[in-house]
Amino acid sequence: MSSLRWSSTRRESSWPPVIREGGLSSSRENHSTFQSHEPEFDYLKSLEIEEKINKIRWLPPHNPAHFLLTTNDKTIKLWKVSERDKRAEGYNLRDEEGRLKDLSTITTLQVPVLRPMDLLVEASPRRVFANAHAYHINSISVNSDCETYMSADDLRINLWNLNITDRSFNIVDLKPENMEDLTEVITVAEFHPHHCHLLAFSSSTGTTRLCDMRAHALCDKHAKLFEEEVDPAHRTFFSEIVSSVSDVKFSHSGRYLLTRDYLTAKVWDLNMENKPVETYQVHDYLRTKLCALYESDCIFDKFECAWNGTDSVIMTGAYNNYFRMFDRASRRDVTLEASREVCKRRAVLQPRRVCVGKKRKETDVCVDSLDFRKKILHTAWHPKENIIAIAASNNLYIFQDRMTPNVHHNAQIQSAPLK
């Protein structure tokens, strides 16, 4: 999808859209739609560049307008989205259609006045950052200094200034002199939420590196390495594939790292590198299905993860349109479903369970009955309120816990699907 659909209500804090106890506070219609990227063709490499959007990142708000970064495989754009519901009338030098008046006919001066008008949402590209990546861009992250951001592809990470489009600084380079010696690729990169000199990036080998830009201009040497060794006795053909990290998120406090690989979500303390402090099995029942998942390429799916606003609960997606929540204090977890069949306005979601053997309840789903075409890859959690967004296929679902942020009550959350 190359176009952005802007959904919000006209309120002081119009992003993100809020769901009250009575349901979604805005209508299900799009507030605005604009084309972010167009199809391109790289004539030097005879490569077609799709217009699809790989990542979207919002910049911290500093005025009523909203700014966001979007990227496809090669080009990053900075957009400004603003709203206007008044227009000026009564210009001295121009008529109502904007044409310049004959100056000889102007005999008096008048003060322009503002008149109400239908709400107009304007999206304008402010910067275009291009020609800096030889490989497909997989992640972008805005720095806490609000002046710089980084973009990552399979082998390199570049640092950009938001006001400079014609040059970037390469801070990580994993490309070997001989490509046959390549052993890993970068999967995701993320800035620390508070310290502008710290960044983390993960690789296909299951490692996550913490880098300090104060130590070296080129972060070829990491400050810390977070890696959990695989027991050689349990190593299989799929061990390296399922250990590839698909997403990294710093906690809001900045002390912890949340990483997601194919089967697990792990929480790391930045002060302890040798093993994660918490490991959550997302869908351990798939271990016996890895061969079939490999043949269907599902084993290469990239699942995202998210923290709640207090860093007490984590969330990530799974198959069959299921998503999982884990309470870090009580170690309780819940599986919920996001689909148009079960998610109606003000509906109460019921917990789901995947069983390996025979069904215990009518609502249970056998692992052999899972639909691997239905998957929750993208998830997001409101930074302050207990509101989550789930992307399932071409549908966006927004849920709110009407009772309490604790995970064992999350089965009683209200839903409002946006198509």
CA distance 205 to 366: 31
This prediction has a pTM of 0.81
**pLDDT > 90: what percent of the chain?**
53
**Res 114 pLDDT > 60:** yes
Domain residue ranges in the chain: 1-89+112-131
**Res 15 pLDDT > 70:** no
**Res 17 pLDDT > 60:** no
Which of 30-44, 253-267, 398-412 has the largest mean confidence?
253-267
CA distance 78 to 162: 8
Q: pLDDT class for 16, splitting at 50, 70, 90?
A: very low
Given this model, what pLDDT does residue 398 score?
A: 87
* Residue (of 386, 312, 327) closest to 399 by Cα position: 386
Tens digit of pLDDT for each residue in 170-228? 999 999 999 999 999 999 999 999 999 999 999 999 999 999 999 988 898 899 999 98
Q: pLDDT class for 356, splitting at 50, 70, 90?
A: confident
Tens digit of pLDDT for each residue in 32-75? 787 787 777 776 677 777 778 889 999 998 888 889 999 999 89
Query: In the structure encoding, which two tokens stand for residue 269, read together?
Result: 């303390």
Determine the 3-state secondary structure of 169 from DSSP: strand
> Distances in Å between the alpha carbon of 344 and those of 222, 361, 415?
48, 23, 6
Given this model, what pLDDT does residue 121 score?
A: 82
Section 364-375 average pLDDT: 91
pLDDT higher at 395 or 209? 209
* Residue (of 83, 80, 106) closest to 8 by Cα position: 83
